[in-house]
Structure 1
Amino acid sequence: MTTDGTTVMLRNGSETAHAMQILDNGAIGASVLLAGPDAARTTQYDFTEDVAPVLQKTGAVALYKDDVLVGVVEQPVSHDASGAEVDSRYSVEGNRLVQTVDPDPKSAYPIVAQAAVAVFYTRGDYVHVTRGQASGHGWWIKGTTKATKAKVTVQLQYKPKKTSSWNRRGKAGVTTIGPGTSKRANARMTCRSQGRKQWRSWVDVDLIGYLDSPNKYYTSARTLKCTL
């Protein structure tokens, strides 16, 4: 353990070491240190079976759990001892993330390849009846992502019959907000009667300037005294 809180893991007889660090924003920094030209060029990170890494076009890796984005491994940044950038990339093999570093003959050792693992959370409440209207809210929790703003969309859904498919109802609520529970996007639909019908909503969070998922968060269905 170093004085700045970095945990360094050395391998006896190897020119490769690993370091883990909690960054200022709470993200986890994972670094690979290549001490010399004989150091291993690839490093493998295994995730649990319920977490699926998916490589993005940007070179970053999205982490999904049950089709919900739960984290992002930012694109790797690698530099040699002189500060020159060194090529590095990710590939995915099942639930395994493989990091590869490609120094050239002029690279000065040691080489450090770092990536930050960032996490944010999409949230939504149960659809409920307020003053004769079906209402649903959506928001997001910052976690460790660097994003400070996100466009949050919440859309009500309704089942006319038990055997019906979910149908979109009303206009989606769209709001650009910061993280936390105090600011929320809201969608409303006026009830015509108090017959019992099933309602739910979906919430989509688009981080401003950062990678996020196209997948939506669906709230649990509830039977409400609200018929359209």
Structure 2
Amino acid sequence: MAGIVTTSLLVPQVAASAAPAVEEKAASATPQPNPPAKPRPTVAPDSAKTTGGLVLQNTGSPEEGAASRAALCNFTTNGDYVHVSSGDASGHGWWVNGDCDTEYATVTVTLQEYFADGTWHDISEGEATVLSGGGRGKRATARATCEDTSFMASWRTVVDVDLVGIIDDSTTLTTDYQDLPCAVYD
């Protein structure tokens, strides 16, 4: 013989004034469009590769507006490929003095990450006033903490050297990009 189960739910009576207010949506409400999605980091196409390499020849002049080539001095701007170090995207920039009459230069290195909208985004910047040569204590470092290490993204550095006390050209070095398991969402 089959049994019959009856379930009763007892709910206490609540006064109408104590009941939570419920807003009714107007039938004529216009749906709001979704905001455009932010571009995401991605791997750059081959067409985004630069031909900058890792070294750039530069010139400087001790005299403002010097027209004579004899007044020019020579130095190089250097950078390494962006790499992952201790969970960060990391890149370095430095300079090597050729024959300029200065011991120091201010080196700025900018980490750039490639995004799906086809643009390079500045993610991090480091600056240091350093002696010529590179290596520990003689270079600028830029770092950005990887937010997603399971996602490949393209990275490069842009390095600018400004000689201390000497006017130099405004040319910057842009290194070729590297595809790394590191994404930062800006």
- TM-score band w.r.t. shorter chain: 0.5 to 0.7
Partner of 2:13: none
Partner of 1:179: 132
Q: Which runs of 4+ in 1 moved over 4 A?
A: 72-75
Assess if the C-alpha contact under 8 Å between 2:60 and 2:166 holds in 1: no
Q: CA RMSD in A?
A: 2.1
Aligned counterparts of 2:61 and 2:106: Cα–Cα separation in 1: 21
- The structure whose RCO (Cα within 8 Å, separation 6+) is larger is 2
Task: Tell me: CA distance 1:177–1:207, structure 2 relative to 1, closer, same or farther (3 Å).
Answer: same
2:163 corresponds to 1:210: no
Assess if the C-alpha contact under 8 Å between 1:158 and 1:200 holds in 2: yes
Choose from 77, 80, 83 the match for 1:125: 80
Higher relative strand content: 1
Partner of 1:30: none
Partner of 2:101: 146
What is the number of residues matched between the two proteins? Answer: 124
Task: Tell me: CA distance 1:90–1:214, structure 2 relative to 1, closer, same or farther (3 Å).
Answer: closer
3-state SS in 2 of match to 1:138: strand
Partner of 1:71: 59
User: Partner amino acid for 1:144?
Assistant: D
3-state SS in 2 of match to 1:123: strand
**Percent of counterpart pairs with the same letter?**
40
Deviation at 1:197, TM superposition (A): 0.5
User: Partner amino acid for 1:178?
Assistant: L
Deviation at 1:140, TM superposition (A): 0.2
Aligned counterparts of 1:90 and 1:186: Cα–Cα separation in 2: 34
Choose from 168, 176, 179 the match for 1:223: 179
3-state SS in 1 of match to 2:134: strand
Question: With structure 2 as the length reference, what TM-score do the two structures score?
Answer: 0.61
Aligned counterparts of 2:67 and 2:130: Cα–Cα separation in 1: 32
Deviation at 1:160, TM superposition (A): 2.3
Assess if the C-alpha contact under 8 Å between 1:69 and 1:212 holds in 2: no
Question: With structure 1 as the length reference, what TM-score do the two structures score?
Answer: 0.50
